[in-house]
């Protein structure tokens, strides 16, 4: 990923953009180790000052990698330090769409993952038999301490885990989420497991209150609540898992807690081809209210292609996710620059628009990488060069180059507009077990005629759990889940239902 982005910056960005004010930080494991992680602290401080950040994929080393690289001490994920340092609100992970090419979901899918709290910030200890007392001490030490939980641990081997779910910035998350869903004309859903995890009720309450007070009328006018009964819809996380598979038309957004957001967006990535076609943008807020945005791709460093490159082999890396992230950071920088230097801001937006379309056009015209085109696709370097040529013409003339002739046509006529469906078998990590696929097909082809009829398809969809559900079935499932959870919890674990604004709130 680092090698590919260096080519792109050299051939796409540097010829057209003055990058003299850009600041660079080496977050490689070696640099972090040699500086005792000073470089990461400096990067976080610079991000707070600049507020527009592009981050390339990084490595969080395992114990084996620590030994291999000769590192002095373990290194944590830089993302955690960034979320804390920039007062992270949400991580937006959305599907990337290339006009004219269907990758998975037909319409946008937007996700807001709460950037703080939950299991990722947990403290824990391995313990044995004994008692555990969890106590909260208010900031004002004159107030009485509160026992959060007391329990007896009867196993010789166990683990105690403690974490919290901060709620102070959920209003900010709600405004970001509902504004974006409205802009993209998608239906919003809030996802929790509040039927079982009662402490998640507060997240839902805040999201619903912000929606009802500030956005509901606009959504009703836009017709975006027609299929949800005119109200903001809550989904338990179990149901959301299945709906992501069923709603392949897209056109929806989900907001959820930190851990659920991590898991569910991985599922979105699989439906939408791969993590390379999903964004990962952190939004935070400076003390003065200035919005900080950090943009990165959802995939890793693609180390296997780097090792192939070092062996002198051809590689074909698709940089779409990284380029979309870079252009997003540049667009946010332009927005911040607008009031002080409108000309520079406009020039930046002009470049990002042309760059984005030059890259999309290459994919549409069959000049893409091999994961999109197949064995005839371009190498990493060839793809960078073909987009650079197109971009240069766009920047010089302000217009797109003439479409290339259809292969095999005698008159150079343009191909009719059609939506392309690149085969998933082109992907580098394609590992489908075709023999087991035949067995699965045979199980549902009950009469053995080599085809699956509608009735057989219905049976298959139900068995695989992908059959569409009636909208009212969500409510029925949620009510059943809540009743089951209360029965399992018993009197000690039950809490009141916070069903209306008049009843006590959790926040």
Contacts of 356 (CB under 8 A, 6+ apart): 323, 324, 327
pLDDT in tens, 370-383: 999 999 999 999 99
In degrees, to the nearest 5, what angle opens at C-alpha 188 toward C-alphas 187 and 189?
125
CA distances from 450 to 50, 156, 441, 443 (A): 61, 56, 9, 11
Average pLDDT value over all residues in the chain:
89
What single-letter DSSP state applies at residue 418?
Answer: -
Given this model, what pLDDT does residue 446 score?
A: 87
Rounded distance, CA 187 to CA 225, Å? 7
- Gap between the Cα atoms of 238 and 172, Å rounded: 26
Residues 106-142: tens digit of each pLDDT: 999 999 999 998 888 899 999 999 999 999 999 998 8
Q: From the CB of residue 17, how many other CB atoms can be counted at a distance below 10 Å?
A: 17
Pick from 51, 77, 489: nearest CA to 300: 77
Q: Is 251 left (phi over 0), alpha (psi -120 to 50) or beta?
A: left
Count of CA atoms in the C-beta half-sphere (13 A) of 326 = 23
User: Which pLDDT score, from 0 to 100, does residue 496 have?
Assistant: 42
The CB-based long-range contact list for 265-270 (8 Å cut-off, 24+ gap) reads 265/93, 265/111, 265/113, 265/298, 267/241, 268/93, 268/95, 268/105, 268/109, 268/111, 268/244, 269/298
Could you say which residues of the chain have pLDDT below 50? 405-416, 492, 494-504, 506-507
Alpha-carbon Rg for the chain, nearest whole angstrom, is: 26
What pLDDT does residue 362 have? 95
């Amino acid at each position: 990923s680092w090698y590919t982005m260096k080519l792109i910056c050299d051939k796409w960005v540097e010829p057209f953009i003055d990058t003299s004010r850009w600041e660079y930080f080496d977050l490689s494991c070696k640099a972090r180790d040699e500086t005792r992680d000073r470089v990461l602290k400096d990067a976080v401080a610079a991000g707070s000052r600049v507020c527009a950040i592009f981050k390339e994929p990084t490595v969080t080393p395992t114990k084996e990698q620590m030994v291999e690289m000769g590192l002095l001490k373990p290194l944590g994920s830089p993302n955690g330090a960034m979320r804390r340092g920039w007062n992270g609100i949400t991580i937006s992970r959305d599907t990337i769409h290339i006009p004219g090419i269907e990758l998975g979901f037909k319409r946008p899918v937007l996700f807001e993952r709460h950037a703080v709290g939950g299991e990722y910030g947990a403290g824990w200890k391995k313990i044995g038999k004994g008692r555990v007392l969890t106590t909260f001490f208010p900031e004002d030490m004159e107030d009485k301490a509160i026992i959060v939980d007391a329990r007896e641990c009867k196993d010789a081997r166990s683990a105690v885990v403690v974490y919290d779910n901060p709620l102070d910035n959920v209003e900010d998350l709600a405004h970001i989420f509902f504004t974006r869903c409205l802009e993209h004309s998608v239906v919003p859903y809030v996802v929790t497991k509040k039927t079982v995890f009662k402490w998640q009720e507060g997240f839902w309450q805040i999201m619903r209150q912000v929606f009802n007070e500030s956005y509901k009328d606009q959504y009703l006018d836009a017709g975006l609540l027609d299929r949800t009964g005119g109200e903001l819809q809550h989904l338990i996380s179990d149901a959301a898992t299945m709906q992501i598979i069923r709603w392949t038309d897209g056109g929806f957004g989900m907001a959820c807690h930190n851990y659920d957001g991590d898991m569910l967006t991985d599922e979105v990535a699989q439906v939408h081809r791969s993590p390379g076609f999903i964004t990962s943008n952190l939004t935070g807020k400076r003390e003065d209210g200035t919005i900080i945005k950090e943009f990165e791709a959802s995939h890793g460093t693609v180390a296997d292609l780097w090792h192939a490159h070092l062996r002198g082999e051809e590689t074909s890396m698709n940089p779409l996710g990284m380029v979309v992230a870079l252009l997003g950071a540049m667009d946010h920088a332009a927005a911040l620059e607008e009031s002080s230097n409108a000309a520079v801001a406009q020039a930046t937006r002009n470049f990002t628009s042309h760059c984005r379309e030059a890259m999309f056009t290459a994919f549409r015209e069959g000049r893409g990488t091999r994961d999109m085109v197949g064995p005839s696709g371009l190498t990493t370097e060839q793809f960078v060069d073909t987009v650079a040529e197109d971009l240069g013409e766009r920047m010089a003339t302000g217009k797109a180059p003439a479409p290339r002739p259809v292969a095999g046509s005698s008159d150079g006529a343009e191909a009719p507009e059609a939506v392309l469906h690149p085969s998933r078998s082109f992907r580098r990590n394609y590992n489908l077990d075709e023999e087991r696929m035949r067995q699965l097909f045979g199980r549902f082809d009950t009469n053995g005629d080599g085809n699956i009829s509608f009735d057989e398809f219905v049976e298959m969809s139900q068995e695989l759990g992908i059959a569409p559900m009636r909208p009212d079935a969500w409510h029925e499932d949620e009510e059943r889940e809540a009743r089951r959870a209360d029965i399992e919890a018993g009197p000690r674990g039950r809490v009141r239902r916070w069903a209306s604004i008049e009843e006590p709130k959790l926040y």
